[in-house]
């Protein structure tokens, strides 16, 4: 299971192995996610911060992946163990929650899901929020020692034009009309703009597997290799989740994404077209 409905999660709230993680996060607003959590969250949830809990302090891009061993020990210390059923949620269409899903899934955890529709769908269904934060006993979390479905900038550059590169950012950022945080506006040459909200219906929940399959088949065709990216390797995971729900092969993740690319001195493209691969 990679996606769980509010209704199904509500029925499982009493399961001892359930671990719910609130991962709300807001660009350029440090501490706002934690404040939102403290104001009201799903019963039994703990808060995980994208910047400090799901990213390394330093590395390529704004949210580099942490060392898998350190990540496992950290989550284990918070009470998330190997036998846990982990549910992540946000209020951003799964754009942050999918990061935790992707990380655990990539490292081999067998039971992790994103709450479909996030906290908005939970409250719309009439379910309550809480201000209490649990303290789970430490647990052992066994994960793989290295990330597997990833590609870095050095490996990506010579493959541009042969792989299908997806960019999950909003169209205005992709086209270079605005850039709120990275040093250069635009996108990685050859990238296709695949905004994450295109995977969702009007209710904020994911489209049906058939609809998602049609969307991505129209973009990637029969390409053997697909790479998903965004600003910092976070929202890109929502496209990876959508492809999993569609029954398509998992893409590679470019963890540094545009934040790494735009700091590297590599050329960028602007406008609505993907652009040509840079000369190697």
Which contacts (CB < 8 Å, 24+ apart) does range 169-178 have? 169/193, 169/195, 169/230, 169/231, 169/235, 169/258, 170/195, 171/195, 171/272, 173/231, 175/270, 175/271, 175/272, 176/268, 176/270, 176/271
Compute the residue count for the chain: 280
Residues near 14 by beta carbon (within 8 Å), at least 6 away in sequence: none
Calpha distance 107→127 (Å, rounded): 32
Residues near 101 by beta carbon (within 8 Å), at least 6 away in sequence: 2, 88, 112, 113, 114, 237, 241
Contact 37, 279 (CB under 8 A): no
The pair phi, psi for residue 269, each rounded to 5°, is -110, 150
Task: Tell me which H or E stretch contains 164.
Answer: strand 164-167
**Residues forming the active site:** 230
């Amino acid at each position: 299971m990679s996606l769980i409905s509010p209704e199904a999660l509500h029925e499982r709230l009493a399961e001892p192995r359930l671990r719910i993680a609130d991962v709300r996060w807001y660009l350029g607003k440090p501490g706002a996610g934690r404040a939102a959590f403290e104001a009201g969250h799903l019963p039994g949830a703990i808060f995980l911060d994208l910047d400090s809990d799901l990213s390394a302090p330093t590395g390529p891009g704004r949210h580099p992946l942490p060392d898998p061993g350190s990540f496992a020990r950290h989550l284990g210390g918070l009470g998330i163990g190997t036998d846990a059923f982990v549910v992540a949620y946000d209020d951003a269409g799964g754009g942050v929650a999918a990061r935790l899903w992707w990380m655990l899934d990539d490292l081999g955890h067998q039971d992790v899901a994103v709450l479909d529709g996030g906290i908005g769908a939970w409250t719309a269904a009439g379910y309550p929020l809480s201000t209490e934060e649990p303290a789970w006993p430490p647990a052992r979390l066994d994960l793989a020692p290295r990330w597997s479905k990833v590609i870095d900038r050095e490996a990506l550059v010579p493959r541009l034009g042969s792989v299908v590169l997806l960019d999950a950012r909003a169209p205005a950022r992709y086209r270079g009309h605005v850039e709120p945080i990275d040093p250069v506006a635009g996108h990685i040459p050859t990238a296709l703009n695949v905004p994450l909200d295109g995977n969702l219906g009007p209710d904020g929940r994911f489209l049906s597997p058939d609809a998602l399959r049609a969307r991505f088949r129209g973009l990637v065709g029969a390409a053997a290799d697909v790479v998903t990216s965004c600003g910092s390797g976070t929202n890109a995971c929502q496209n990876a989740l959508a492809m999993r729900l569609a029954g398509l092969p998992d893409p590679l993740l470019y963890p540094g994404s545009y934040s790494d690319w735009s700091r590297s001195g590599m050329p960028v493209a602007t406008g609505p077209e993907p652009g040509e691969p840079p000369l190697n």
